[in-house]
Amino acid sequence: MNITDRIDSLKGIGPKTAVLFEKLKVHTIDDLLRLYPRTYLSYDEPVDIEQAEIGTRVTIKATIQSYVDVKKIRSLMIVTCMVKDGTGAVKLTWFNSPFLKQVFHIGQTYYFVGTISIRNHQRVMEHPEYYTDAQYAEKLSSLQPVYPLTEGLSNKVITKAIHAALPLVSQLEDKVPEKVQEEFGLMPLEYAIQGSHFPENFDEVLACRERLVFDEFFWFILHMRMLRERTVKAQNHFVIKNWKNADAFIDELPFELTDGQKNAVSEIQKDMTGSTVMNRLIQGDVGSGKTAVAEIALLATVKNGYQAAFMAPTEVLAAQHYEGVKKDLKPYGVRVELLVGSTKLSEKRRIYDALAKGEIDVLIGTHALIQEKVVYHNLALVITDEQHRFGVRQRALLSEKGNEPHVLVMSATPIPRTLAIIMYGDLDISVMKDMPANRLPIKNCVVGPKYRPTAYKFMQEQIHAGHQIYIICPMVEASENVEAENVVEYQESLLDVFPKEVHISYLHGKMSPEEKNRIMHEFAEKKIDILVSTTVIEVGINNPNATVMMIENAEKFGLAQLHQLRGRVGRGDAQSYCIMLCGTERKDALERLNILNTSNDGFCIANEDLKLRGPGDFFGVRQSGDMLFQMGDIYNNADVLKIANEAVDYLERTGYPLEELVAISDFNHVQL
Ligand code: ADP
Ligand code: MG
């Protein structure tokens, strides 16, 4: 068997299972071996019930005290049973598992593994795993990999498949040059992959993952260097001389630009009139006003007779930019169009045609903007918003679209300068430090679920005052469908809480693009008072009239993500509020959330968060959200990022043929 074979050639994987694996982007055995665990579960010595920490996964050894009780509530079967050890008692509950009545008998002792919580002053453990003495002895001290799941594909099935694939790991070719492996003491790739699936202990996990993270960073940096070689020195074919209209636009704005915005605009102007092409990153915290800067650059480009493209990571955000740019630039006769994946085919054809003829000035959209069929007439500027979702490769593709257009990248990701230079090595950086003057700092609070009724009452007052509200619903990683359900159910439960005249709607990733756009429209037009949503609204959405952001289960999100979410409010001149509902009383969770509670500054948050983390937090929440990497996180793995950068420096310095290396690298496993 070959490592490049499709996975259904493995024993035990049929075509049906293979289809499920495709949802995880696993097609070949090679892909499967690189589907790394999300985390690991450990099986430790049992703890006393009395001592067991609430809200953390624990093992207890306890004796069945009562008959198993099976209740039916609507379509749900609830199974409960009391257990006890020498120190205390816990009520165990399972859903839809009536067969357990035959499994458990009074007086038997089992090991139960799960999370204890308190309900009605009673300890409860939901859906615990259960093991006999002999079974648990086998589990004890082992680490069990937990894989990213998709519906219909259990962790057991994935684990088994990986077991079957593992003998082929020796066929893997390690493409990192040997001299780098030696110089930087890298663990052999084969061992790293094996060890990250089935490690003996956490130390091994850390060591193995470090190698894998190194690879991600190494290939990324290498490609970026090549891109820089190609673009930085490129001649400026589109000299944007005339800034009259742009200046008029700035004068007409209903606000005065901040110093950061003025500075960014003048740097852009300098770049675009210079002798080499612009490659610039605008780094500005959420709400700092990056869109206005983008509009100024777009307008100047168009008024010098060229086309511009404006790319956003989601259709919702692209649609919002389209509406905004169209409205703002209309007085200047700019022809703006929207092109996204869901645009109708006939409409797409019309746009392609008009674009090639030069009858469109600004094209706004998602990845659709860089697809092969799209031919520009004279593309001189490409702006990507919230670029962390766009990799080097897309950027390269984009610059190939035209005759080396100017590139402007806008990001809110707060990266310390040393890391930014590595991450965006091919870009010049403008930082916008200040916020528009009319802003009141957002008022924050971190509270428990008990506070919910008070929060609803407060929302009611805000709605009464004409404002709007976001509620972000718990995120469920295991299944996207469940996530959607949560949002729908939550929205329904609110209908009982708020009076009829309060309009409540919801938004989640599974909705069609048309539906999402319709909802966002209605929200922008104030037809919706409360929008219950998943994190689809995380990036870039702008509704200055929204003043409350409530986040359920805030502890489940990364701080950077929470900061982005919070950035959806406080975008106008009214006082805004962020309510973080914390579903746990764990100290570390509260401590983390407290960082957000006390600061509204993205840079400061990222730094503080880093300080709180030790190496053991490797599997904690990813900080950079949807950065570029599958496993690496530029915050958590900042040291590895620096080493990878040194490795590329080393190759460059010693005259290694980097082009050849780039040519053999796999793009598949590094999302460039
Ligand atoms: P972000 O940097 O997060 O993309 P936006 O560009 O969406 O922020 O701007 C957020 C809001 O601030 C918008 O409603 C915008 O009109 C407004 N805004 C931008 N610049 C200024 C400014 N200098 N003064 C006041 N309001 C501004
Ligand atoms: Mg924005």
| pLDDT tens, residue by residue, 181-221 | 999 999 999 999 999 999 988 889 989 999 999 998 999 88
| pLDDT band per the 50, 70, 90 thresholds, residue 391 | low
How many other CB atoms sit within 10 Å of the CB of residue 666? 12
The length of the chain, given as a count of residues: 672
41 by DSSP, 3-state: which?
A: strand
Residue 103, H or E segment:
helix 100-103
Q: Give the CATH number, domain containing residue 447.
A: 3.40.50.300
Q: Return d(Cα 603, Cα 418) in angstroms, integer.
A: 13
Domain tally, the chain: 3
Rounding to the nearest 10 degrees, give the CA dihedral for residues 362, 363, 367, 373. Answer: -120
Which of 16-25, 360-369, 409-418 has the weakest average pLDDT? 409-418
Going along 593-645, which residue ranges are E strands?
none
Instruction: Let me know whether 427 and 448 are in one domain.
Output: no
In a domain, 619, yes or no: no
Segment among 187-191, 386-390, 394-398, 517-521 with least mean pLDDT: 386-390
54 vs 556: CA distance, rounded Å: 16
From ligand 2's centre to the CA of 602, what distance in Å?
A: 14
Of 106, 140, 174, the last residue of a domain is 140
The verdict on 450 and 348 lying in the same domain is no
Tell me if 588 is assigned to some domain: yes
- Same domain? For 271 and 415 the reply is yes
Residue 478, helix vs strand vs coil = coil
The yes-or-no verdict on residue 484 having pLDDT over 60 is: no
Q: What is the best residue among 296, 408, 520, 542 to mutate for testing ligand 1's pocket, by most ligand atoms within 8 Å of CB?
A: 542
Cβ atoms of 216 and 649 within 8 Å: the answer is: no
Note whether 428 and 453 are same-domain residues: no
Residue at 312 is within a domain: yes
* Same domain, residue pair 66 and 114: yes
> Ligand 1 centre and the CA of 532: distance in Å?
24
Note the pLDDT of residue 390: 52
pLDDT single digits (tens) 227-237: 777 766 688 99
Please identify, among 140, 171, 190, the residue that sits at the C-terminal boundary of a domain. Answer: 140
Q: Using alpha carbons, list the distances in angstroms from residue 138 to 161, 166, 204.
A: 21, 22, 20
Q: Are residues 357 and 383 in the same domain?
A: yes
Closest ligand (CA of 265)? 1
- Residues 466 and 562 occupy one common structural domain: yes
CA-432 nearest atom, ligand 1: 2
pLDDT at position 466 is 96
Output the CA 385–ligand 2 centroid distance in Å.
Answer: 7
Let me know how many helices (H) and strands (E) the chain has, helices first: 23, 22
128 contacts: CB under 8 Å, gap ≥ 6:
92, 94, 112, 113, 114
Residue that finishes a domain, picked among 88, 106, 140:
140
The ligand that comes nearest to the alpha carbon of residue 295 is: 1
| 93 plus 134 within the same structural domain | yes
In the chain, % of residues over pLDDT 90: 54
Say if residue 478 is in the same domain as residue 427.
no
Index of the ligand 1 atom closest to the CA of residue 288: 2
Distance CA 299, CA 307 (A): 10
List residues, by chain if needed, whose CB lies under 5 Å from ion ligand 2: 540
Higher pLDDT, 634 or 90: 90
Asked if 475 and 366 sit in the same domain, the reply is: no
Tell whether 194 is covered by a domain.
no
pLDDT for residue 369: 87
Q: Which residue from 261, 262, 283, 291 has its CB within 8 A of the most atoms of ligand 1, so it is best to mutate?
A: 291
User: Are 392 and 272 in a shared domain?
Assistant: yes
The mean pLDDT value of the chain amounts to: 87
Same domain, 591 and 549: yes
Is 238 among the domain residues? no
Rounded-to-integer distance, Cα 427 and Cα 422, Å: 10
Please tell me the predicted confidence (pLDDT) of residue 238: 95
Summarize pLDDT for 579-618 with one digit per residue, the tens: 999 988 888 888 889 988 888 888 788 777 766 655 444 4
What are the pocket residues of ligand 1 if the criterion is a CB atom closer than 6 Å to any ligand atom?
255, 257-258, 261, 284, 286-292, 412, 436, 438, 540, 542, 544, 571
Residue 347 lies in a domain: yes
Lowest model confidence (mean pLDDT) among 76-80, 359-363, 469-473: 76-80
**What residues contact residue 158 under an 8 Å CB cut-off, 6+ apart?**
35, 147, 149
Site to probe by mutation for ligand 1, drawn from 283, 571, 600 as the one with most ligand atoms within 8 Å of Cβ, is 571
Report the alpha-carbon distance of residue 61 to residue 49 in Å, rounded: 8
Q: Is the pLDDT of residue 480 over 70?
A: no
Q: Which domain holds residue 456?
A: 443-599
Flag whether 437 is in a domain.
Answer: no
Taking CA atoms only, the protein residue closest to ligand 1 atom 24 is 436
Determine which residue's CA is closest to atom 5 belonging to ligand 1.
289
Residue 222 lies in a domain: no
